[in-house]
């Protein structure tokens, strides 16, 4: 197939237009998610077979209302059409929602003015009758001078026609739609035209107005652009004028081609809004949904997590049996397998959280939550839109911090990013679980509430409180001169599409597992290496211990154990633990806990597996034995249990506040584009952790 043709297609559109449904419909499972170079914005690409000789390579660009970006995600759309030469699309498909055609045509008019082939796909056309909408498609095509199609991605209507239109993209008229430059400022645009001869006029205009959004611009072009940027207030005036003129133009066309019979429009939206944003019921419903989310994260995942836990320890056992003893087997059994297990065990919780959050987003309910919570969150220096990161943070801060992108005000976004790691993420759970089991008695209060469960709930509340209070403090302290603003669309309510939700969950879970997985796995291997190598004393451990215990009449097991603890003490990691011991002694910890604290700075959940390694437990993944070992651990100085109530509570406080996650630090660095903020988090949160652990331990003991 020599003459096989590949067409590069870009899907563009407003949020909530069913763009993702169309993307899923066109590509099915032939899609992959990667990152745009240099930024963490997810790039969704996929392939679709258009005909026997043609394949489309489709990019699903982030949803946007305009090519003028107001967030990093939206900036990708601008970059795709202006910068990336190699990935420049052959044809753009603008997906529009039949109900909001006017606003969707605004974006369409901008893309069309780039003078590239554009197809307008009016989605959700199956709803037209119900909503009382009629469109004169032929006239609309003629007026827009473009290819226009009615489709319904969910009902699979018009998809074949769309594919046909993509195949024939070369026949699409590429003239500008709205020749409005002269009406904005003729003199200015004549100059622009004379200066930028190589690019289209609208492209030149975008280069001038969106100058700050481009990272790579050659020197010559830079000088040309700067000569037009002297008067920023008149530039903004021209942009406003452009917007008004575009809408005038669109209105004229829609008056001729689009009618909506208001009486037939159903009032479901208004009825639901009355209840869901009601001043009492609104909050009750939101609280109920939150409780349902937390309930499902814990109740529905217990057995599957136990299953994963058991499977990995069986796998370790199995590998131990089939492999000959040696370094490689040790690496697998003590390093790699528990490392992977430590990631996989979070999949059920993360998947359920993503499932519920993406259902709430698909239905349009999330926007109502933002509306309900904005005023409250503003007192704490955040925006209503911060609620989404704070909820997602209970699974993992990394995707949560990325979700803070659509907060417009820099200060509100920054505070959200800074406080999100306080929310109790799922990595803290295994730590909490084992310590609570050790130090909180398994009793019930008033017959119903389990004391251990209540402690866990209190820790969640503590996380939210810490987030909110530090938000308030940052709000008072931070001086940011950028004005914050807030505009959010309240989309129509929709039934979530199963396909979209499942694809979304699959994709997000996958990127979590691979993203966080790499760090945890690498760390487990490093940890294993540091624990199984050490100074001369380590190398000669066998001889030394045997010599020392010659008179003790130990059994072989006891002797081996003594050797392993001696080895640990003199391994590299043991030496590090000894080194920090003076600093953590006031908190009630010894050098062994110190090692676990150190390794936890890469990822919190490593705490349990580190202690497991340290207490040289044979079967690493069996929580009971780890717990038993921890319970049996004796404080050499007092002769009592190491993990008593004060130490346990002190550890809980430490883990509640400390910034122990390299993944989060890396994402904060990327999102804020500076080391200042992640370092502030690292030192600020850890100092808070240290002080609260110190106070807790001192008061309780």
Tell me the closest approach of the beta carbon of residue 239 to another protein, in angstroms.
6
Smaller CB distance to another protein: residue 171 or 375?
A: 375
Q: Please, what is the end-to-end C-alpha distance for the chain in angstroms?
A: 79
The angle at the Cα of 368, spanning 367 to 370, to the nearest 5 degrees, equals: 65
DSSP secondary structure letter of residue 587: G
Q: Classify the C-alpha dihedral 645-648-651-653 as positive or negative.
A: negative
> Could you list the residues that contact another protein (CB under 8 A)?
65-66, 68, 70, 100, 102-103, 106, 233, 236-237, 239-240, 243-244, 247, 269-270, 273-274, 277-280, 282-283, 367, 370-372, 374-376, 384, 408, 485-492
State how far the Cα of 701 lies from the Cα of 699, in Å rounded to an integer.
6
Give the separation between CA 615 and CA 561, rounded to whole angstroms: 9
| SS3 category, 422 | helix
DSSP conformational letter for 334: I
Taking the least distance from each CB to another protein, the nearer of 117 and 491 is 491
Give the integer Cα–Cα distance in Å for 547 and 569: 17
Q: Which residues contact 420 (CB under 8 A, 6 or more apart)?
A: 389, 390, 393, 397, 400, 401, 404, 467
The H-or-E segment that residue 86 falls in is: none
Q: How far is the CB of 370 from another protein (least distance, A)?
A: 7
Comparing CB distances to another protein, the nearer of 196 and 258 is: 258
Structure tokens at 275: 């209840």
59 DSSP β-pair partners: 10, 45
The distance of closest approach from Cβ of residue 632 to another protein in the complex, given in angstroms and rounded to an integer, is: 54
Distance in Å, CB of 280 to another protein, minimum: 8
Q: Toward another protein, which CB reaches closer, 63 or 648?
A: 63
Distance CA 266, CA 259 (A): 16
Instruction: State the minimum distance, in angstroms, from the CB of residue 353 to another protein.
Output: 25
C-alpha angle 478-480-483 in degrees, rounded to nearest 5: 135
Q: Which is nearer to another protein, 223 or 280 (CB)?
A: 280
Return the sign of the alpha-carbon dihedral for residues 196, 145, 70, 88: negative
Give min distance, CB of 373 to another protein, in A. 9
Residue number, 34 or 243, with CB nearest to another protein: 243
- 17 contacts: CB under 8 Å, gap ≥ 6: 63, 95, 96, 97, 100, 104, 123, 124
SS3 (DSSP) at 344: helix
In angstroms, what is the minimal distance from the CB of 492 to another protein? 8
Residue 96 phi, psi dihedral angles, 5° rounding: -125, 150
Q: How far is the CB of 270 from another protein (least distance, A)?
A: 7
Minimum Å gap between C-beta 240 and another protein is: 5
């Amino acid at each position: 197939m020599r003459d096989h043709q590949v067409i590069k297609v870009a899907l563009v559109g407003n949020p909530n237009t069913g763009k993702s449904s169309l993307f899923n419909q066109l590509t099915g499972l032939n899609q992959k998610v990667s990152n745009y170079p240099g930024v963490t914005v997810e790039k969704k690409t996929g392939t679709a077979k258009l005909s026997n000789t043609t394949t489309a390579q489709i990019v699903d660009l982030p949803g946007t209302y305009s090519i003028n970006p107001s967030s990093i995600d939206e900036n990708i759309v601008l970059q795709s059409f202006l910068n990336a030469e190699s990935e420049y699309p052959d044809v753009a498909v603008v997906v529009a929602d039949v109900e909001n055609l006017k606003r969707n045509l605004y974006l369409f008019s901008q893309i069309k003015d780039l003078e590239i082939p554009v197809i307008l796909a009016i989605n959700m056309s199956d709803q037209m009758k119900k909503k009382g909408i009629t469109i004169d498609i032929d006239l609309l095509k003629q007026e827009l001078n473009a290819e226009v199609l009615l489709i319904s991605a969910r009902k699979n209507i018009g998809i074949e026609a769309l594919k046909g239109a993509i195949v024939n993209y070369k026949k699409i008229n590429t003239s500008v739609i709205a020749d409005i430059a002269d009406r904005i400022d003729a003199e200015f645009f004549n100059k622009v035209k004379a200066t930028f001869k190589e690019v289209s006029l609208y492209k030149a205009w975008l280069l001038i107005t969106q100058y700050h959004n481009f990272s790579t611009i050659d020197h010559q072009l830079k000088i040309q652009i700067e000569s037009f940027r002297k008067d920023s207030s008149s530039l903004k005036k021209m942009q406003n004028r452009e917007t008004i003129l575009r809408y005038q133009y669109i209105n004229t066309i829609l008056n001729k081609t689009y009618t909506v019979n208001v009486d037939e429009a159903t009032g479901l939206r208004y009825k639901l809004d009355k209840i869901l944003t009601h001043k009492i019921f609104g909050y009750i419903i939101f609280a109920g949904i939150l409780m349902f989310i937390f309930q499902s994260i814990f109740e529905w995942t217990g057995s599957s997590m136990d299953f994963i836990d058991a499977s990995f320890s069986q796998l370790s056992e199995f590998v131990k049996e089939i492999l000959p003893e040696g370094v490689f087997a040790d690496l697998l059994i003590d390093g790699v397998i528990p490392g992977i297990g430590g990631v996989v065990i979070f999949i059920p919780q993360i998947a359920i959280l993503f499932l519920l959050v993406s259902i709430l987003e698909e239905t349009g309910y999330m926007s109502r939550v933002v509306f309900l919570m904005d005023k409250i969150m503003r007192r704490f220096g955040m925006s209503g839109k911060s609620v989404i990161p704070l909820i997602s943070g209970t699974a993992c801060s990394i995707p949560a911090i990325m979700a803070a992108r659509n907060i417009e005000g820099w200060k509100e976004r920054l505070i959200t990013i800074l406080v999100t790691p306080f929310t109790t993420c799922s990595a803290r759970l295994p730590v909490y679980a084992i310590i609570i089991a050790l130090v909180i008695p398994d009793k019930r209060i008033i017959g119903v509430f389990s004391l251990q469960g209540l402690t866990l709930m209190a820790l969640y509340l503590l996380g939210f409180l810490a987030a909110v209070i530090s938000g308030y403090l940052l709000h008072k302290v931070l001086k940011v001169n950028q004005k914050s603003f807030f505009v959010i669309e309240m989309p129509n309510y929709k039934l979530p599409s199963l396909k979209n939700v499942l694809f979304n969950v699959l994709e997000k879970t996958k990127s979590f597992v691979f993203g966080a997985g790499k760090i945890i796995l690498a760390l487990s291997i490093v940890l294993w290496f540091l624990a199984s190598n050490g100074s001369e004393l380590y190398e000669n451990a066998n001889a030394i211990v045997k010599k020392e215990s010659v008179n003790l009449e130990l059994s072989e097991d006891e002797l081996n154990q003594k050797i392993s603890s001696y080895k640990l003490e003199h391994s590299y990691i043991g030496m590090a633990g000894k080194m920090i011991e003076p600093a953590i002694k006031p908190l009630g910890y010894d050098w062994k806990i110190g090692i676990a604290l150190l390794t936890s700075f890469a990822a919190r959940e490593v705490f349990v597996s580190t202690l497991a390694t340290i207490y040289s437990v044979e079967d690493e993944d069996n929580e009971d034995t780890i717990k038993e070992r921890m319970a049996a651990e004796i404080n050499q100085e007092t002769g009592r249990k190491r993990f008593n109530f004060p130490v346990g509570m002190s550890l809980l406080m430490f883990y509640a506040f400390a910034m122990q996650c390299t993944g989060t630090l890396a994402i904060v660095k990327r999102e804020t584009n500076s080391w200042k903020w992640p370092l502030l988090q690292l030192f600020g949160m850890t100092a808070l952790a240290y002080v609260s652990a110190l106070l807790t331990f001192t008061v309780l003991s």
